[in-house]
Amino acid sequence: MHRTHYAAEVSAQEIGKTVAVAGWVDRRRDHGGLIFIDLRDRSGVIQLRVDPSAGPVFSAADRLRPESVIAVEGVVRARPPGMENPELITGAIEIEPMRLAVLSEAKTPPFLPHEEAERVDELVRLRYRYLDLRRPKMLAHFALRNRVVFAFRRYLHEHGFLEVETPALARSTPEGARDFLVPSRLQPGHFYALPQSPQLFKQLLMVAGFDRYYQVAKVFRDEDLRADRQPEFTQVDIEMSFVDQEDVLREMEALVHAVFRESLGVDLEPFPRLTWDEAQRRYGSDKPDLRAGPPLLDLTAAAHRDHWPVLGAAEHVAAVVLPGVNPSRRQWDGLLERARALGAPGLIWLWRGEDLRTNARALGAGFVEALAAAAGIARGDGLLVVGGPRAETCAVAGQLRLEAADAFGLRQSGWKFLWVTDFPLFEWSDEEGRWVSAHHPFTMPHPEDLDRLETDPARVRSLAYDVVLNGVELASGSMRIFQPELQARVFRVLGLSPEAVTAQFGFLLEAFQYGAPPHGGIAFGLDRLVMLMAGAKSLREVIAFPKTARGTDPLTEAPSRVDPRQLRELSLTVVEPS
């Protein structure tokens, strides 16, 4: 019996013909004298109809269990009038099996791979991942993922990018996330690190003159997990030579447009651009969600000019406009509490209805009117106002904007992309007591800020940029330093001694001395992109065999202890935690 059709491919055209299908028993409906079997394969389901005249086929069908694997050869029949199922692609036909072979009998599974399995405890789903992946929805996630990767590859291939693999066993570098280490047997006491990104290798490929590179690269970061963070994940890593930032942004935006068109059939709008500074001021975030209502208002000037009570003394005054809402007293109180939890000492709310409602009555009716006027709110609009130090105030207002948008259903649907540019080059690390790279140490400083590199690191911008989609950081990149002297200056600001630099990055700096082109690039978080495209809430829904929040795999029970012999070969001893 050799399969001739996928289940959902059998159509009315085959009526009267003999076909062979194979797959899993999705459901069995036994009417005693008549048995219906839904046979499921990757394409969908088709109904088999077995009646007692079928002899051995009937007795086999009688004993069939859900999720057993069967192969069937039979004649395609039109269903009797009135018996069609419009819900099914194959709902107008059925197969009358002449032969039925049970290829593999299934135990009763812990859950059946129907869509209700969505509600099964996730631990059980992960423990039996192969059953969970049988669900059409999960399959659809991976079909989408495949289309997305294929679209990336097609575009990049067609635009002259070369896919090159870089090592998974690489050198540990101290900057950035915690490394996963791999002990070396041949070099006792030495370790490889799994790459956090192919960053250094792709820059070396630019020095090599490969000009345009990409890689669908698995990368690793040993940090705590989140719904949108797994210890191993996939980047579409890209680098280009002889380009400026504008070239990169234009090419990468075209790439994303192509990926959406090809894999979802969606034509995207051009991406708006915001500088990091604007993003902070208007959204209180470096990854604004443009769907969550209007941007923040900056009322600082009005507050200072008119000497508003309380707010007049604040460094920054930010307001969230809530268009067309009617919050209850309880909801206002909830927002007040959230503001306090986020670190804002106070929050003024007001709402324009018949008259002006507010919690700031005590500050004077005139002030309240002035506030409403300054914000320009219309009837039915609400307003949240916070004041204080600039960065904190923007952050709190930005967070309130998101939470209020969800509370009042203001968050729209759609694909709201944007570029965030001009990230700061450095951030002060209290923990380390020094400046650290905001992106990575090879990021090109903004040319206009070069003269204050040493004198005012906080105000040095960089040629670094992110792609943000619906409030999620989707891609991050930068133009790179390719002059050894400039790189040395940046390392100095970072407090890295020449010796440390030579030890850790000497090979890169040396490479730059042999002729390095100007270059820059970006890396897309593939898993996150697919998650958003699939409308999923967790990366685990778009990774075939993901890890739990504690970094384990309930299916294979990784990580595991290893045989002492293995440890000895690696010159390792385990010190048990006390």
Partner RNA sequence: GGAGGUGUGGUGUAGUCGGCCUAACACGCAUGCCUGUCACGCAUGAGAUCGCGGGUUCGAAUCCCGUCACCUCCGCCA
Binding site for RNA (CB under 7 A): 27, 29-34, 36, 38, 47, 49, 51-53, 65-66, 79-80, 83-85, 87-88, 91, 94, 108, 110-112, 119-124, 173, 175-178, 196-197, 199, 221, 223-229, 427, 431, 436-441, 538, 540, 548-550, 552, 554
Output the smallest distance, CB 103 to RNA, in A: 18
Output the smallest distance, CB 535 to RNA, in A: 15
Residue 368's nearest CA partner among 344, 387, 349 is 349
Phi, psi dihedral angles at 450 (to 5 degrees): -60, -35
Output the smallest distance, CB 152 to RNA, in A: 19
Q: Indicate if the alpha-carbon torsion angle 24, 26, 32, 33 is positive or negative.
A: negative
In the complex with RNA, the residue whose CB is nearer, 227 or 254, is 227
In the complex with RNA, the residue whose CB is nearer, 31 or 379, is 31
376 and 390 in contact (C-beta within 8 Å)?
no
Q: Is 220 left (phi over 0), alpha (psi -120 to 50) or beta?
A: beta
Output the smallest distance, CB 443 to RNA, in A: 8
Output the smallest distance, CB 79 to RNA, in A: 4
In the complex with RNA, the residue whose CB is nearer, 263 or 476, is 476
- Return d(Cα 332, Cα 338) in angstroms, integer: 10
Q: Go through 66-87 and write b for each residue having 16 or more CB atoms within 10 A of its CB, e for each that does not.
A: bbbbbbbbbebeeeeeeeeeee
In the complex with RNA, the residue whose CB is nearer, 207 or 350, is 207
- Encoded amino acid at 17, one letter: K
Strand, coil or helix: 564? helix
In the complex with RNA, the residue whose CB is nearer, 370 or 500, is 500
Output the smallest distance, CB 223 to RNA, in A: 4
201 and 217 in contact (C-beta within 8 Å)?
no
Output the smallest distance, CB 32 to RNA, in A: 2
457 and 472 in contact (C-beta within 8 Å)?
no
Output the smallest distance, CB 332 to RNA, in A: 22
Burial, 337: exposed, middle or buried (Cβ in 10 Å; 0-12, 13-18, 19+)?
A: exposed
Pure H helices in 458-563: 484-493, 498-512, 526-534
In the complex with RNA, the residue whose CB is nearer, 155 or 233, is 233
Q: What single-letter DSSP state applies at residue 443?
A: B
431 Cβ contact partners less than 8 Å away, ≥ 6 residues apart:
none
In the complex with RNA, the residue whose CB is nearer, 29 or 190, is 29
Beta-strand relationship, 472-479 and 162-163: unpaired
- Return d(Cα 68, Cα 181) in angstroms, integer: 42
- Return d(Cα 465, Cα 286) in angstroms, integer: 10
Residue 410's nearest CA partner among 374, 376, 384 is 384
In the complex with RNA, the residue whose CB is nearer, 162 or 177, is 177
In the complex with RNA, the residue whose CB is nearer, 382 or 441, is 441
Burial, 31: exposed, middle or buried (Cβ in 10 Å; 0-12, 13-18, 19+)?
A: exposed
39 and 24 in contact (C-beta within 8 Å)?
yes
Output the smallest distance, CB 408 to RNA, in A: 20
Output the smallest distance, CB 51 to RNA, in A: 5
Residue 368's nearest CA partner among 359, 442, 572, 107 is 359
What are the Cα distances from residue 367, in Å, to 310, 323, 344?
A: 11, 21, 21
Q: Which residues pair with 47 in a beta bridge?
A: 38
Output the smallest distance, CB 480 to RNA, in A: 11
Burial, 533: exposed, middle or buried (Cβ in 10 Å; 0-12, 13-18, 19+)?
A: buried
Output the smallest distance, CB 87 to RNA, in A: 6
In the complex with RNA, the residue whose CB is nearer, 51 or 337, is 51
